[in-house]
Amino acid sequence: MHNNLKTQFCGLELDSPIVLLSGCVGFGEEYTRIEGFSNTDVGAICLKGTTLEPRLGNIPSRVTETPEGMINAIGLQNPGTDIVINEIMPKLDKKETRFIINISGSSIEEYGEIAKRFDDSDIDAIEINISCPNVKEGGVAFGNDPDMSYRVVEICRKNTTKPLITKLSPNQTNIALNAQRCIDAGTDGLAVINTLMGMSIDTKTRRPVIGNNQGGLSGAAIKPVALLKVHQVYQVSKKYNVPIIGQGGIMTANDAIEFIIAGASTVGIGTALFYDPLVCPKINDGISQYLIDHQLNSIDDLIGTLELNSAISQCDIGSK
Amino acid sequence: MSKEHRNTIKVVDCQVLAHYKYEGDQYIITLASDVIANETKPGQFVHISVSDALPMRRPISVMSVDKENATFDLLYKVVGKGTQQLSERKIGEVLSVIGPIGNGFTMTDKKRPLLIGGGVGMPPMVAIAQSIKDSDYHPFAILGSEVPFPFDAQVASNGKDYQGATHTMPEFEDWNIECRLASLQNYEGSFKGYVTDLAKVYLDGLSAEELAQVEVYSCGPHPMLEAVAKLAKQYNLPCQVSLEENMACAVGGCAGCVVEVQTDNGPAMKRVCVDGPVFDATTVF
């Protein structure tokens, strides 16, 4: 691993700024099936979204291709908190990377209970998912209301001393306000963004392609949206030194660098793996080389270095 | 923990060596890869990047392998954007392929495998036949299609006529494996009816002793698999089916390709990519 990629995130020492995203890599072992893929190439892995009780998830079809991206509606299929803690986590090789659990509750109290159970485990950090677009209750119902978001983060904060990362939804009016409330409630980090809600229709059957009718859009198509949301959240989070995992359509090292410039401390990779399972070392190489080329010692020297253009309104341009 | 699963799937660049079009928008593509040719088991599939213009790969079953020349063949039908893009790939072009993937078919001690393949579900049956061609198995294969078969059907040399089914796929003849064709269309030498109807004709011609040695292996459209599973149940035969589903990662990471199966602990969602694609028919239907 390149030395200039080592970084700190919410108190965790990471060997790379790459974080593999929840829902894309199962419980951390799935991609190791691929020769040439290694968990040591990434700073951290967010494990599959976990609920208190087991969930079967949504009916098929759960994924479909869209222009420059895909829609998914998995529906938080998982074996439940206790099995994750007692049967899956002991099998993780913690020498290879850091592991972050992603949690979802159907009530505020349930979020608190799951956080408490993982507090007693040796997980490295907890990501609070208040932005899953694919389940009826919970998820985004909490994430679109800043006061509800506050209450979810607050109860998790009371129940754990582990680093807490809150995953924000792009499907809301003012993501920066929501970020502020999550910081007020004690989150240590923010993940920006979860998927955008979308739909795909089969014109032969006049039915939605996805069993759940709607799903979350990811992939290169959402990168510009994600980048702007990271920029907007960073305006708030930088005041409190709360770091961001920038995520949404990162396919290349250059994409990752854009997110870091916009304010992300680490970068999330998900959908890109589906096309190129060996993309992580390439992104590491690209970021490292960029730092060298620009005489920067580390990622820290690049985070949030965006220089905005002097703002000229459309009216001003039109009048000239 | 056990790390046996690690490094079992390879990412390889494969050159297109041949690409033939057949009636009904069907294609057979030959790709070069030592790894895929040597490591693929019947029922396994590859996940192909068909074009840089599409963000998702396409899962396609391996039909046959040529270990000596380090090549493998895929049969596919153009049904959407991905297969359309794949059909445009020319000889000499290089495609990124992930494979071999999945739990293929398990050959058991039942020595009379009945292979039933429909449409683009034919390839795994061809793959099984190729893998047991020089063994003590006595397979019988039934291939069904409602568009012209993607090969030149020929009269089977053993001359047996199963209610009008007299023709076979040339490869099966080369491998000395009995095979017949079925279709609702009037194709020369094909049984007129469903693959399951032809299967009944075959099964009813077996002695009780022979019937006890039959295990059914099948791949094809969902309604066909359902009918095959029902038939297997009627005849009290074990049955393995290979399923397909929309797929994103193909390595078990995203849980996008699940099928509901019955387990001892109740219903479960199993991933077609790495828990399958082959399942015990009684757990699915």
Predicted confidence (pLDDT) per residue in A52-97, tens digit: 999 999 999 999 999 999 999 999 999 999 999 999 999 999 999 9
The DSSP call for residue B103 is B
For CATH 3.40.50.80, the residue range(s) in chain B are 112-244
Q: What was the pLDDT predicted at A318?
A: 44
Which of chain B's residues have a Cβ under 8 Å away from the Cβ of A42?
A: none
CB-based contact, B248 to chain A, within 8 Å: yes
Give the model confidence (pLDDT) of A174-219 as tens digits: 999 999 999 999 999 999 999 999 999 999 999 999 999 999 999 9
Task: Verify whether the Cβ–Cβ distance A33 to B96 is below 8 Å.
Answer: no
Query: Shortest Cα distance from A225 to chain B (angstroms)?
Result: 18
Q: What was the pLDDT predicted at A312?
A: 65
Residues of A recognised as catalytic: 132
Q: What was the pLDDT predicted at B209?
A: 97
Question: Does pLDDT of A42 surpass 80?
Answer: yes
CA distance B65 to B277: 19
Q: What was the pLDDT predicted at A54?
A: 96
Does the complex come out with an ipTM higher than 0.90? yes
Q: What was the pLDDT predicted at B108?
A: 97
The pLDDT-based confidence of A317 (bands split at 50, 70, 90) is very low
Residue ranges in chain B modelled with pLDDT below 70:
1
% of chain A surpassing 90 pLDDT: 91
The pLDDT-based confidence of A141 (bands split at 50, 70, 90) is confident
Task: Verify whether the Cβ–Cβ distance B256 to A62 is below 8 Å.
Answer: yes
Task: Verify whether the Cβ–Cβ distance A274 to B254 is below 8 Å.
Answer: yes
- The continuous run of DSSP H or E covering B216 comes out as strand B214-219
CA distance B153 to B18: 20
Which of chain A's residues have a Cβ under 8 Å away from the Cβ of B245?
A: 60-61
Which of chain B's residues have a Cβ under 8 Å away from the Cβ of A36?
A: 11
Q: What was the pLDDT predicted at A40?
A: 97
Which of chain A's residues have a Cβ under 8 Å away from the Cβ of B11?
A: 34-36, 277-278
Please name the fold of domain B112-244: Rossmann fold (3.40.50)
Instruction: Residues B3-101: name the CATH superfamily.
Output: Translation factors (2.40.30.10)
Q: What was the pLDDT predicted at A32?
A: 97
Chain A and chain B share a number of CB contacts under 8 A equal to 116
Task: Verify whether the Cβ–Cβ distance B249 to A72 is below 8 Å.
Answer: no
From the centroid of its chain, how far is CA A147?
A: 21
Q: What was the pLDDT predicted at B67?
A: 97
The pLDDT-based confidence of A24 (bands split at 50, 70, 90) is very high
CA distance B23 to B161: 26
Q: Which of B171, B94, B187, A284 is nearest to B179 (CA)?
A: B171
pTM listed for this prediction: 0.95
